[in-house]
Amino acid sequence: MSNNKKKKLTPIQQEYQAFQEEREVKRPVIKNCIKAFLVGGIICLIGQLIQMFFIYNFDFTEQTAGNPTVAVMIFLSMLLTGFGVYDRLAQFAGAGSAVPVTGFGNAVISAAIEHRTEGFVLGVGGNMFKLAGSVIMFGVFAAFVIATIKTILIQWGGL
């Protein structure tokens, strides 16, 4: 708290501020960063192994193996969320489980599970894309804009 704000506090409020600062639980930032890094890295390693599986067993190239790999990773995160495993992993790893694409799958299915008592249409369907809807909308809009620009450039003979 800045000194100007401390000057405006009454002595009792200042005493309470000191009391609060003494007893505030310090967050283990370094430990949390290490856990996030390791779990995020393991998730990415699993994704890489799945991509290599598609390349070696189904004759995909590195570029074409990306889409099925992402689909499998999202499916696995949704499945693990349904069984309650991914939520425990997310509590342990924090941002390490939220940043990879699996965090997207977890966000979608968590909202659907939370509202399943309201029915499939209004509950699951209406709330499934609450958090992830903006991500999907931005992706679709960006793809539209880029495709439009590319089409215009091709028509004009630029590409």
Say if residue 48 is in the same domain as residue 79: yes
Same domain, yes or no: 61 and 74: yes
Are both 124 and 142 inside the same structural domain?
no
The mean per-residue pLDDT over the stretch 82-101 comes to 88
Block residue for tokens 């509950």: 123
Residues 66, 77 within the same domain = yes
Same domain, 124 and 78: yes
Residue 13 maps to a domain: no
pLDDT of residue 111: 76
Domain membership of residue 8 (yes or no) is no
Q: How far is CA 55 from the centre of its chain?
A: 26
pTM across the whole model: 0.67
The reported pLDDT for the residue numbered 159 is 55
pLDDT tens digits for range 20-73: 988 888 889 999 999 999 999 999 999 999 999 999 999 899 999 999 999 999
Do both 44 and 95 map to the same domain? yes
Q: What is the 3-state secondary structure (H, E, C) of 9-50?
A: CCHHHHHHHHHHHHHCCCCCHHHHHHHHHHHHHHHHHHHHHH
Q: Specify the amino acid at residue 128.
A: M
The total domain count for the chain is 2
Q: How many angstroms separate the CA atoms of 28 and 66, rounded?
A: 36
Whether residue 153 sits in one domain with residue 92 = no
Q: Which of 70, 73, 119 is nearest to 81 (CA)?
A: 73
Q: Which domain holds residue 62?
A: 26-128
Non-local (6+) Cβ contacts of 90 within 8 A are 97, 98, 103, 106
Please tell me whether residues 144 and 89 are part of one structural domain.
Answer: no
